[in-house]
Chain A
Amino acid sequence: MTTPRLHAALLALVVSLISTIAMATGPSYQVKVDGLACPFCAYGIEKQLNKIAGVEVLETDIEGGRVIVTMDDGQTLDESQVEQAVDRAGFTMKGFEPLDTADSQ
């Protein structure tokens, strides 16, 4: 195989892997949290949410008082588990909403 063809094959492989990884994430959820008002306190919420099996990615928006939770492929998030996790961090869950794929991208 010539060098340009090898490079093209490797590039295709990398793109394929990235696409596979990107598609491997599961559903996303928006969790609204009351009481969150500083970055240092946000860590406690993220730590508790990370303990839930299947949680892949957490994105906290402190101004909006919300955490976007993205699950592993094939996993779903139970609202009562989230409520418990937020409570264990010392805060109050005020909303729980599944996001469709377009919202979660």
Chain B
Amino acid sequence: MSVVKRKTRWASRLGGILAAITPSVVLAAPQTFNTALPIAEDSFVLREQLLYRHATSAQRDLDVTGAITVLGYGLTSDIALFGAIPYLDKTLDGGRRERSGQGFGDVRLFARYTAFKDNAPGRTFRIAPFFGVETPTGDDDERDRFGRLPQPLQSGSGSWDPFGGVILTYQTLAYQLDAQVAYQANTEANGFEFGDKVRLDGAFQYRLWPRELGGGLPAFLYGALEANLIHHGKNEVNGIKDDHSGGTQLFLSPGLQYVTSRWVIEGTVQLPVAQDLNGTALEDDVVTRIGFRINF
């Protein structure tokens, strides 16, 4: 194997980790994935989420900090359009040298359709499929003094990557359940192709305060527990699968949300409780997310 190929292969081992940061979170209840709750017609929801992620493997440390901005728009009460853009700063400390890249990443555009809803007093059940594409808007040719950054450290992938899935939400005044299954088919760019991603997510939120509802429109404090089962396929470098990339991870995420009619503040810590990764792929240590949402 050539030196160039070895370097590229080594870099590809970061791939699954960085791809997991991709903002699948959108507007509503869960903090690590989407919900089927509606956006009112001709209304917007803005979500800002600050992110910190740390991952390690033998003699390598990866730190990712940044922000994910999501804007949702209610085209009708059943059709919502979303745009999401991350700004990430990624630093990889390989022991002998440190490399980093930062900038706006790939914009994700998608639509969600409420295919089924059952509204009843104090509760709602909804099923909403969604479909979209991750566009190659981020810079995919960043360089440092060592040359072009490895693809996973680039802000952009350079590729058009379609994704889709379905979300189920059951919400009552006391608690909320969300579940999602999603798939992203990554395509090739710059001789590199991230492995496809499939994920299964679940979330349970429970109203901690106020314990009793005394009329009016009080703010709610929710305690939340989310679970994310994420599988990444192996990356491909120049058409050859990298046996040191991809794998399966299970995260559990306790969190809190303070919800008013106009805004939400929230935070969660994603803890990897099981990781079955290929070869020497980087393992997550922790992912922390804090943020807010605004209705307008």
Contacts and interface: CB of A to CB of B under 8 A. Distances in A.
A binds B: yes
Interface of A: 32, 34-48, 59-65, 87-92, 94
Interface residues on B, range: 35 or more
Chain B CB within 10 A, most for which of A38, A48, A89: A38
Chain B CB within 10 A, most for which of A35, A46, A47: A35
Contacts of A44: 38-40, 43, 74, 295
Chain B CB within 10 A, most for which of A41, A47, A87: A41
A34 B37 CA distance: 14
Contacts of A34: 119-121, 124
Contacts of B124: 34-37, 91
Interface of B: 28-29, 37-43, 74, 76-78, 114, 117, 119-124, 171-173, 176, 213-220, 259-262, 264, 293, 295
Contacts of A61: 215-217
21 contacts: A36-B122, A38-B29, A39-B217, A39-B219, A39-B259, A40-B260, A40-B293, A40-B295, A42-B217, A43-B261, A46-B261, A47-B43, A48-B40, A61-B215, A62-B217, A65-B122, A87-B77, A88-B76, A89-B40, A90-B40, A90-B77
Given A44-B39, A63-B215, A65-B122, 5 more contacts: A37-B122, A37-B171, A44-B43, A60-B217, A88-B40
B122 A47 contact: no
B213 A89 contact: no
A48 B262 CA distance: 14
A64 to B, nearest CB: 7
A52 to B, nearest CB: 14
B118 to A, nearest CB: 8
Contacts of A88: 40-42, 76-77
Contact of B123 (A35, A48, A59, A94): A35
A76 to B, nearest CB: 24
A83 B262 CA distance: 23
A103 to B, nearest CB: 15
Given A48-B40, A60-B217, A92 B28 contact: no
A38 B176 contact: yes
Contact of A64 (B123, B215, B259): B215
